[in-house]
Chain A
Amino acid sequence: MSTLHTQNIETADVIVVGAGMAGSVMAYQLGLAGLKVLVLESGPAIPPNRSEYLERFYTAVFKSPESPYPPEQTEQTPAKQFAPRATIQDLITAGSDDPDKVQKSYLVQKGPHLFASTYERVGGGTMWHWMGTALRLLPNDFRMRTAYNVGVDWPISYDDLQTAYCRAEQEIGVSADVASQTYLGVTFPQGYQYSMHGIPPSLVDQGLGKAINGTQYLGITLNVRQTPAGRNSQNDNGRRVCAGNTSCTPICPIQAKYDATVTMAKALDTGNVRILYQAVASQVQVDANGVTGIDFIQYQNNGTHQNGTAQGKRYVIAAHAIETPKLLLNSIGPHSPKGVANSSGQVGQALADHSVYLAWGLMPEGKPLFPFRGPLSSSGIEDMRDGPFRSQRAAWRIEIGNEGWNWSVNDPYTSVCDFIDGTNHGGANPNNQALSGVALVQQLNSVLTRQFRLGFLIEQVEKDPDKALCRVERAEGFTDGLGLTRPQITYELSDYTKEGFKQARLAATHIITKLMGATELTDLNPELKPGSQTVFKYDGQNYAFFGAGHLMGTYRMGSDRTKSVVNKDQRSWDHPNLFLVGDGVFPTTGTANPTLTITALTFQAADVVASDLLKRTVQVQANQAWQGTGVQVNGHNWQLAVCTGGQWTANPGTGMVGAAGNSRLTAKPGYTLPGQAEGALIGRIGNSGAPFLVGNQAQLPRGQQGELQLCINDDLTGRYGAGLSDNRGSLSVEVRFGTV
């Protein structure tokens, strides 16, 4: 316990709030660049092994996404917990008539719909329980307003993210075959290969593929397609290969599935990163120039806690889409009257998920698909993620589940109990048979092996994106165990999204009954109870929706500072030394699971933060040979050399030129770099590095270490004439982090 006078001050070059996917990438890239990083993580440390988490999972009755992780999902005492978070248990309570439901739920849900997704607050973050699906967004996902007159445009395009997507796929280690992934405008660099070959399709995938592949639906050809996944199909990266534990969410027992602890370990290995665990960022302090510090409360397991402040030159908040706006909105002060970074009023606005329409079926007897095998999902139907219909209704991707009716009705538990008790809660026992002995084994086998489910991940678009119906705000009067105000959620699906549900239902029934010849067991008329629910009525029908676990949109990026929170570099418009990363920056949701895009964007943001602090401009003289820049290249970060001005010449007689050199004169043997333009800007790494063309800008070659040296492309030894001695002028060259 400390008083105001003995405030504990922690300093570093960069302060990062959150040790999840984005926080880990940020820490790793900055640590690699030589910057000192301090990470504040609200939850407990990454453990030496996953036995505590796995043990909790094995013994949990309700094996929800949060079931392995602390705080224990059954506690439901957010007012007392130090780092509480949303849980499915809370969601169930919120939709019930439990008189204590408001107190039990961490999220204060105002409705009219319940927000159905959850996240973790532990070292490694929500990546512990992600599914592993590593899909890219589609080009049109970035330009919804321009293409379809709905939603907003991102301030960047798919092409702007191409290199970053490749970096993200490499960092995560994505297994997929490129040929199967080029659809709906998705492109890859020439000759691109994913880190590992694709995961083989399950028997469920194969059975669906036989019935679906090549068929037409609403003018679109459907195909069952391999899903790119952050899941080992090879052992080159030192972790085990997938053994099909079928529990990706909530936990992979053998870490065949990538999680952020892999990247955080690399961050720690740089020697430049420190993590304070159980340190909850409580308030961001700002003045007229920017952030001056982030207050935090560090708690111990015995219930005591101490205050501290973290100070750095740059601040990055990577606390996911609910905790980040909560922190910003809780930071009201003279220079942040509406909360930090919130002059636009958009912080916490446009909270979005991929709302999920779940459909499930039972194959006819004699036609098993053998679910409950393999990763939770290995394939999907992606063909309807985009199309002209998007001007009218939400698109979706279809995730094929390998886990039978586990998500749908909690099988095998429900069907096992049904056939023992003679009930029909699961839907597979319409005759209410009560069996035992061999008959029980046979009937259970018959039913369980014929189950399959489809999950439609439906994009969420606000009717008026600038006046969002879905938002995160302060829940006045509701605090957690540290006295911090909890998040209040207002949530309502737009008609655009609801129409997507209607079309999803039709497509699901088409696939299940017409194409598969199966019996559909989807609850087509879920009860719409009073109060906030995960059920809505639309066009005469009731629909149940689930959360995909994809929380997005609450501090979006844009090109207009009055309508967005960060710019395309994910830098706060209001406070230039503050960056907000994670999928809270997504202006639209598209239909791809967000992790890969989060990772790609964070690589880009890390380049900007590193450049802020380490970029250097040097003058390169035309009349000198190789000149040192003082920039040490480590061969791993992505760095650029960019000419920012000046003129020079290798031969006054032919005139002054820029960094591209004289296009009419090609350098001869003996020049710095024969074959390139005379007078061009040339670089090399270290004294013995091979010279490379910089020109106006160039990516520094990776894999080489040493000092970057620059030079003009000229006859250095004076073999053909005056050599360097008659050269004139100079260029200014900026060396920074980034990709061309």
Chain B
Amino acid sequence: MSDPNLQDFIDLSAVLTGLSAKLLAPSPDPIKLPPLFFATAQQGMGAAAFSNLLGLYASIKGQPPAQIASAVLGSSDAQIAQGARSIMKLWLLGSWYQPYNQGTAHKGDTRVVSDQAYKESWAWKIAQSHPMGYSQYHFGYWAEQPPTLKQFTGVDAKEGQQP
């Protein structure tokens, strides 16, 4: 990515979602969700609030992830705090949840950003599965143990959870 803002957006998304930047924005990338999500969040939050969010991130990006998340999600600027949550939902569900009234959009409006956004959304991989309506697996897979959470997301499952 040549655009530093885009890279910050990806890195911030990684911090917030717990999914690494390499997973959210693989290279090479024929699907190109990161720029689409960037534009979606920018439009949804409004350019100013979005810029403030990225600005906040840029100023603290050296800190540990937990601190960054806390600063962003606990920001006293409600638009930053709510907008960031909508960005998390965007990656996990492929839908934009309008965080507050902005332009003609109302708080609570929801839309699926694109068929690819749904198909690539991460909540299902976090469930060690696939989005309903999009499976790449083979007959009978459901009768067998799925790959581990670590294989899907790079994150270890909670202690004592599963093999």
- A–B contact with Cβ pairs below 8 Å: the answer is yes
Interfacial residues, chain A to chain B (CB-CB below 8 A): 54-55, 57-61, 63, 200-203, 206, 233, 241-247, 251, 253, 365-366, 368, 370-375, 378, 402-404, 406, 412-413, 416-417, 420-421, 434, 436-446, 448-449
Chain A contacts for B156, CB-based, 8 A: 442
Whole-angstrom distance between the alpha carbons of A374 and B130 in the complex? 10
B112, A59: Cβ atoms closer than 8 Å: yes
Whole-angstrom distance between the alpha carbons of A412 and B141 in the complex? 21
Whole-angstrom distance between the alpha carbons of A262 and B112 in the complex? 31
Whole-angstrom distance between the alpha carbons of A417 and B82 in the complex? 12
> Closest CB-CB distance, B137 to chain A, in whole Å?
6
B143, A200: Cβ atoms closer than 8 Å: yes
A448, B123: Cβ atoms closer than 8 Å: yes
Query: In the complex, which of the residues A58, A200, A438 contacts B133, with contact meaning CB atoms closer than 8 Å?
Result: A58
Whole-angstrom distance between the alpha carbons of A200 and B110 in the complex? 37
> Closest CB-CB distance, B11 to chain A, in whole Å?
13
Interfacial residues, chain B to chain A (CB-CB below 8 A): 15-19, 65-66, 69, 73, 85, 88-89, 92-93, 95, 97, 110-112, 114-115, 118-119, 123-124, 126-130, 132-146, 149, 153, 155-158, 160-162
> Closest CB-CB distance, B130 to chain A, in whole Å?
7
Chain B contacts for A242, CB-based, 8 A: 139
Nearest residue in B to A443 (C-beta to C-beta)? Answer: B158
A206, B18: Cβ atoms closer than 8 Å: no
Q: Is the contact region of chain A dominated by helix, strand, or loop, or is it mixed?
A: loop
Whole-angstrom distance between the alpha carbons of A41 and B9 in the complex? 51
Chain B contacts for A60, CB-based, 8 A: 112
Whole-angstrom distance between the alpha carbons of A58 and B133 in the complex? 8
A233, B139: Cβ atoms closer than 8 Å: yes
Nearest residue in A to B94 (C-beta to C-beta)? Answer: A58
A421, B85: Cβ atoms closer than 8 Å: yes
Chain B contacts for A437, CB-based, 8 A: 15-18, 65-66, 69
> Closest CB-CB distance, A431 to chain B, in whole Å?
15
Whole-angstrom distance between the alpha carbons of A60 and B138 in the complex? 26
28 chain-A/chain-B pairs, Cβ below 8 angstroms: A61-B110, A201-B143, A203-B143, A203-B144, A244-B135, A244-B137, A244-B142, A251-B133, A366-B162, A370-B146, A372-B129, A375-B142, A406-B132, A412-B93, A412-B127, A413-B95, A417-B97, A434-B73, A438-B18, A438-B65, A440-B88, A441-B153, A444-B123, A444-B127, A445-B128, A446-B158, A448-B123, A449-B127
Whole-angstrom distance between the alpha carbons of A373 and B128 in the complex? 9
Whole-angstrom distance between the alpha carbons of A448 and B135 in the complex? 18
> Closest CB-CB distance, B73 to chain A, in whole Å?
6
Chain A contacts for B89, CB-based, 8 A: 416-417, 420
Question: Apart from A59-B112, A365-B158, A420-B85, what are 6 other A-B pairs with CB-CB below 8 Å?
Answer: A61-B110, A246-B132, A366-B162, A402-B142, A445-B158, A449-B161
A200, B93: Cβ atoms closer than 8 Å: no
Whole-angstrom distance between the alpha carbons of A242 and B161 in the complex? 29
A436, B142: Cβ atoms closer than 8 Å: no
> Closest CB-CB distance, A413 to chain B, in whole Å?
6
Nearest residue in A to B116 (C-beta to C-beta)? Answer: A58
Given contacts A253-B133, A434-B73, A441-B149, contact A365 B139 (CB under 8 A): no
Chain A contacts for B111, CB-based, 8 A: 61
Query: In the complex, which of the residues A63, A202, A440 contacts B18, with contact meaning CB atoms closer than 8 Å?
Result: A440
Chain A contacts for B110, CB-based, 8 A: 61
> Closest CB-CB distance, B26 to chain A, in whole Å?
18
Nearest residue in B to A440 (C-beta to C-beta)? Answer: B18
> Closest CB-CB distance, B70 to chain A, in whole Å?
8
> Closest CB-CB distance, A509 to chain B, in whole Å?
26
B16, A436: Cβ atoms closer than 8 Å: yes
Q: Name, among A60, A247, A365, A436, the residue most crowded by chain B CB atoms within 10 Å (CB to CB).
A: A436
Chain B contacts for A445, CB-based, 8 A: 126-128, 149, 155, 157-158, 161
Nearest residue in B to A201 (C-beta to C-beta)? Answer: B143
Chain B contacts for A421, CB-based, 8 A: 85
Chain B contacts for A440, CB-based, 8 A: 17-18, 88
> Closest CB-CB distance, A426 to chain B, in whole Å?
12
B157, A442: Cβ atoms closer than 8 Å: yes
Nearest residue in B to A404 (C-beta to C-beta)? Answer: B127
Whole-angstrom distance between the alpha carbons of A437 and B14 in the complex? 8
Whole-angstrom distance between the alpha carbons of A63 and B128 in the complex? 21
Chain B contacts for A246, CB-based, 8 A: 129-130, 132-133, 135
Whole-angstrom distance between the alpha carbons of A368 and B129 in the complex? 13
Q: Name, among A55, A241, A243, A365, the residue most crowded by chain B CB atoms within 10 Å (CB to CB).
A: A243
> Closest CB-CB distance, A410 to chain B, in whole Å?
11
A436, B17: Cβ atoms closer than 8 Å: yes
Q: Name, among B16, B89, B126, the residue most crowded by chain A CB atoms within 10 Å (CB to CB).
A: B126
